[in-house]
Structure formats: C-alpha cells, structure tokens
Amino acid sequence: CLKAARFLGAKNISTEGGGPQTGNAQDRKDLLKLFTKNIEHAVRIAESEKVRILVEPEPGLIIENSSQITEFLKSFDSKSIGMNCDLGHFFCVGEDPAQVVYQLVDYIGHFHLADISSDRVHNHLLPGMGSINFKDIFDAISSVGYHGFITVELYTYQDNPIQAANRAYEYL
C-alpha cells in the first residue's frame, strides 16, 4: 500500500487502530504489542517511500480514544506516522471532538467527519442528522491552523451517494 501510495502521489495511507478488543486486559496488551510491532515494520517502509501512515482510532478496536492513540504514537520516533482523526469515533467513546482537535493537533494528518446520534452508537450519519457540534469542530480546526483535507464519510449512504453528498455539502 505504501509503495502504491507513493506511485499515485498520495501523501498518506490510513489504517484502523488494531483489531477488535476482546475485553481481556492481557489479550489487549498482547494485541497492542503485535500491532505496534507490525506498524514499526511499516513505518520503516513509509520513511523510505515518503508516505505517512495515519492510524485511525475506532470504537471497539485496540486504539479507540485520545489517550490510547497518544500513548501509541509517542512510542514512535518518526514523522512517518500520525493519526487519521475521525471525529465521530471520538464522540462515540465519550470525548468532545473539538477538544480532541486541540489535544492531538501534532499528530493529525487528515480528518473524517460524520454525525453520530445522541446515544453515541457507532453509526455514521450525515452531518446535521446527529448530535455533533460542527461549529465547535470547525472553530478548533481553524484555530490550530489545519489546511489539509477533511473527508465526509458517506459509506452508509451507498444506495444514494450523490444525494447524501449534496446534503452533507449543503449542511456544512
């Protein structure tokens, strides 16, 4: 993927924050160790290909919140690893997405946006259909000086993507 990204001129690739958690603390520790070992190998390739690996925390995975991603990324001495910041995921795990932007600005290489209902269940909605405060998020993104891409995730709207994209664009 890293070689293909370089060939295509992509600056980043994204990967999930490890496999699903089992609930067992020792299993989580072992899975995190394995994930870290594999990412260490990938980071060496990323450095040579000049492509950045962005790890995306996600509810239910080994890395699902801001403290876990911070701890994970601090274990690397490389500019070739960072975070794909899916703000809806942080909302799902009980965090304030705007505050996450301020806390993790040094690691963010890309943003994903989707709305999430007030019950914080991990189900991506179009912006404006849930409970996320997008004004605070955009204020935070502007305040930290981020000028990269922000992607609205529409995969839950694959039956009518053009209408979904238009509604998301109009709302945002």
pLDDT digits (tens, 9 = 90+) for 99-116: 999 999 999 999 999 999
Arithmetic mean of pLDDT over the chain: 96
What value does the mean pLDDT take over residues 71-87?
97
Backbone angles phi, psi at 29, to 5 degrees: -60, -45
| pLDDT at res. 92 | 98
Is the pLDDT confidence value at 54 over 90?
yes
Q: Tell me how far apart the alpha carbons of residues 157 and 148 are, in angstroms, rounded to a whole number.
A: 24
Cα–Cα distances in angstroms (integers) from residue 145 to residues 17, 37, 78, 122, 141, in the given order: 25, 32, 22, 28, 6
What is this structure's pTM? 0.94
Q: Buried b vs exposed e over 43-60: b needs ≥16 C-beta within 10 Å? A: beebbebebbbbbbbbbe
For the chain, the farthest-separated pair of C-alpha atoms sits apart, in whole angstroms, at 46
| pLDDT at res. 124 | 96
